[in-house]
Amino acid sequence: MLYSKNRTIPSPITGYHLDDEGHWVAQLECGHNQHVRHDPPLVRREWVLSEKGRRSMLGFRLACKKCLECAPHDARPPVSEECPD
């Protein structure tokens, strides 16, 4: 299947982890990772701020540009359950 440059491939969220700077990263079923920041006014993702919110988005399909680029799978640290204090 061919995709244009403006297209993406949707992939379900399977878990999350925190990066080295404490930002939440979604782990996608396709093997890629994607930051899911709440950064208003540019990006409003209030669901990222709580465990309940993140859990509610498991299975939600995020657009994965890395799949279009045939990028190798990303490293997967253990899934984080809660924000560190």
Q: What is the pTM of this model?
A: 0.80
Average pLDDT over residues 3-23: 83
Residue 25 · residue 37 · CB < 8 Å: no
Domain coordinates in residue numbering, the chain? 9-68
Average pLDDT over residues 13-41: 92
Give yes or no for residue 81 having a pLDDT over 70. no
CATH domain 9-68 topology: OB fold (Dihydrolipoamide Acetyltransferase, E2P) (2.40.50)
Element (H, E) at 62: strand 61-64
Two structure tokens written together for 82: 């809660």
Give yes or no for residue 79 having a pLDDT over 50. yes
Residue 7 · residue 63 · CB < 8 Å: no
Residues 9 and 26: their CA atoms lie apart, in Å, by: 15
Q: Exposed, middle or buried by CB within 10 Å (0-12, 13-18, 19+), for 54?
A: buried
